[in-house]
A and B are shown apart, each in its own frame.
Chain A
Amino acid sequence: MTKEHVQVIKNNPKYQHLVSTRSKFAWTLTIIMLVVYYAFILFIAFSPETLGTKISPDGMATWGIPIGIAIIVFAFVMTGVYVRRANSEFDGILNELKSDLKKEMN
């Protein structure tokens, strides 16, 4: 890739739009995932009895179990959310960008 190519692509508004929306989205999801996971870890570290609270007085299941399973499911759902938007929106912009560049650079 030559210096001119780099400048052309960097100044392309579609490229700028793609990079900024996608990185904002990826960082938002990353931070959500970190917050969820470390909230769980901090509960284990500082207040394990909260997770050990029984869901109903006559059963044995504790809140920690559905919460733990929910984090696993949540992690999977988050990957689905990202893939869905990346496949439609981000790939759409990327394809437009690529065909623009083909015209510009030829």
Chain B
Amino acid sequence: MLSRILSLFTVAGLTVAMAVGADIGETAKAESMNIPAIVMFFIFVAATLGVTYWASKRTKSAKDFYTAGGGITGTQNGTAIAGDYMSAASFLGITGMVYLKGYDGLIFSIGFLVGWPIILFMISEQLRNLGKYTFADVTAYRLKQKQVRILAALGSLSVVILYLIAQMVGAGQLIKILFGLNYEFAVVLVGILMILYVVFGGMLATTWVQIIKAVLLLAGTTFMSIMVMAKFGFSFDALFTRATEIHAQGVAIMSPGGLVSDPISAISLGIALMFGTAGLPHILMRFFTVADAKEARKSVFVATGLIGYFYVLTFIMGFGAIVLVLGDPAGSYLAADGVTLKGMNNMAAVWLAHAVGGDYFLGFISAVAFATILAVVSGLTLAGASAISHDLYANAFATSKVDEKKEMNVSKMATVAIGIAGIVFGIAFEKQNIAFVVALAFTIAASANFPVLFMSIFWKKLTTRGAVVGGYIGLISALMLVILGPGVWVDILGNASAIVPYSFPAVFSMPLAFMAIWFFSVTDKSDDAQRCMDAFDAQDIRCQTGIGADDANTSH
């Protein structure tokens, strides 16, 4: 125990020393070094490492490590879920999209939000009642452990790695622009910090890092939105009028535009965003951190409120950025071409912070944006590590019964491995156009993870064969369709036009998965199929009532 704490301090000290060293090294060449941002960021890092130290003393068992001992309250968990969901992609990406396209940004926000009520009505309590550490506990509840766990782990790890790439590349670019630090250094720093949080503090530290970050992010964006509205006498019409005068697209920004041009794209995007949310492993895992079904549903209520509020703010901020950043009389936020923003168009929210609050507030928002990435990658890494240690190691490949201690150690090693993978991918993908990764993550989540999870909870006749074949068909078709789509086939591979003209192909891959699950279940006449069906009633009773869920530790 003591050695663990000591090593925590050593590594933490090293990180800070490295960072400071790099600060000094970089100062000479990077003139635009943002001192307030760096100071505020290190305050955040110091505070969260403090939380990690506190959490490390309370993280003893595997249950503590994976689920914070199940002792998180509904309100805390809801805030942490909101923290998980309000990633840098949401904060910078959606504000940037509103800034660029106006109304179309709101379409994405709504799609990201409407999955939540569905999760509440169909998934959250069921997960809490049936599962222990990962959503595969639910899908493998009455099916053959090994095959179903491997499928779930592959689905989870695909989503986790894709999301990690997006966050790591975002972190590197953000830090390069905001802090004036070097890209590789930023990626390595994020990787090391997330390994520290997760290895030492487990789910408890990860949860509190999320909560702290969510509160900071909501406070910062609230302030920005109020400042924007105050400039227009709290009149939306005045804000919109001024924005249409400044924006090159004029009044077109007030209505749905080119982003979702044809009906199939619009519907497919809707499906991917709505059902993808219900298949994200790092989100699903959060339902195991609360004590019971009642706290699980409270989590969703709180999360939906906070996320919805946040999306309304991103809309105001996007329009605020059109007026105050794009419309800045001195043009001080624009790149040399006079059209795009300094850095990238995703920086709209950050430059807006400067426009309404000056250097110090810019520093604050930069630090919050970085903290956001840090918190989200921690949640992702924990979910990925659990898939490796709990699903693959303990329940699929171990030849003898695995004790908790061993499983936890594997989980920590997996955390380090995923952290290193994140760093490597972050550096490898620096110059790539990674717009496709989030689309692919949501499509896989909606096409592989969600259908199997949903059918395992609600459909008595689901068999191992149906779940496994259907799950892989969902996973592979999602992958193939995205590769043949505009994000990879055109942007990465350089072909002239996409074979599949849809960025979010879930409208094809998700129904395909459901049909395959159905077909390969009803045609399954094996003994195992009968066993799976016979086991449904007992599963359903536990799912409906939670009876047996309290002693979840002994039932697997």
Contacts and interface: CB of A to CB of B under 8 A. Distances in A.
Contacts of B263: 42, 45-46
Given A45-B262, A45-B267, A60-B240, A71 B121 contact: no
Contact of A87 (B103, B266, B294, B547): B294
Interface in B270-303: 270, 274, 294, 297-298, 300-301
Interface string A6-20: 100110000100110
B10 to A, nearest CB: 45
B114 A94 contact: no
A6 B305 CA distance: 38
B118 A33 contact: yes
B107 interface: yes
Which of A1, A41, A49, A68 gathers the greatest number of chain B CB atoms within 10 Å? A41
Contact of B103 (A30, A64, A80): A64
Contacts of B41: none
A105 B545 CA distance: 16
A60 B241 contact: yes
Nearest to A66: B236
B36 interface: no
A5 B141 CA distance: 18
A65 B254 contact: yes
Contact of A65 (B106, B244, B545): B106
Given A15-B545, A59-B237, A60-B240, A75 B266 contact: no
Nearest to B262: A45
Interface residues of B, number: 56
A51 B257 CA distance: 11
Contacts of A27: 121
Given A52-B256, A75-B304, A76-B308, A59 B266 contact: no
Interface in B517-556: 537-538, 541-542, 544-548
A54 B110 CA distance: 21
Given A1-B548, A37-B270, A72 B255 contact: no
B110 A1 contact: no
Contact of A45 (B118, B121, B260): B260
Contact of B308 (A10, A42, A72, A91): A72
Residue of A44, A60, A73 with highest tally of chain B CB at under 10 A: A44
A25 B351 CA distance: 46
A68 B542 CA distance: 38
Interface in B312-345: 312, 315
Contact of B304 (A6, A49, A76, A87): A76
A86 B125 CA distance: 11
B110 A71 contact: yes
A13 B158 CA distance: 44
B255 A68 contact: no
Contacts of A87: 294, 297
Contacts of A79: 116-117, 120, 300-301, 304-305
Given A15-B545, A76-B305, A44 B297 contact: no
B294 to A, nearest CB: 6
B327 to A, nearest CB: 15
A46 to B, nearest CB: 6
Given A9-B541, A44-B266, A45-B267, A60 B121 contact: no
B123 to A, nearest CB: 10
Contacts of A101: 547
B417 interface: no
B237 A60 contact: yes
Interface in B101-128: 103, 106-107, 109-111, 113-114, 116-118, 120-122, 125
Contacts of B103: 51-52, 62, 64-65, 68
A48 B102 CA distance: 14
Contacts of A86: 125, 294, 297
Interface residues of A, number: 52
Contact of A10 (B122, B260, B541): B541
A30 B109 CA distance: 19
A37 to B, nearest CB: 5
Contact of A51 (B118, B255, B264, B269): B255
B200 interface: no
Contacts of B270: 37-38, 41
A53 B300 CA distance: 34
B116 A75 contact: yes
> Which of B107, B256, B308, B311 has the most CB atoms of chain A within a 10 A radius of its CB?
B256
Interface in A66-106: 68-69, 71-73, 75-76, 78-80, 82-83, 86-87, 91, 94, 97-98, 101
B251 interface: yes
A41 B267 contact: yes
B235 to A, nearest CB: 9
Nearest to A72: B308
Interface string A22-44: 10001101100110011011101
A61 to B, nearest CB: 5
Interface in B211-255: 236-237, 240-241, 243-244, 251, 254-255
Interface of A: 1, 6, 9-10, 15, 18-19, 22, 26-27, 29-30, 33-34, 37-38, 40-42, 44-46, 48-49, 51-52, 54, 59-62, 64-65, 68-69, 71-73, 75-76, 78-80, 82-83, 86-87, 91, 94, 97-98, 101
Q: Which 8 A-B pairs have the closest CB atoms?
A: A52-B255, A45-B263, A45-B266, A60-B240, A48-B256, A26-B121, A41-B270, A59-B237
Given A6-B537, A30-B121, 12 more contacts: A6-B541, A18-B545, A33-B118, A41-B267, A42-B267, A65-B254, A69-B315, A72-B113, A72-B312, A75-B114, A76-B305, A82-B121
15 contacts: A37-B270, A38-B267, A45-B263, A52-B256, A60-B240, A68-B103, A68-B110, A71-B113, A71-B114, A72-B311, A76-B304, A82-B117, A82-B297, A83-B120, A97-B545
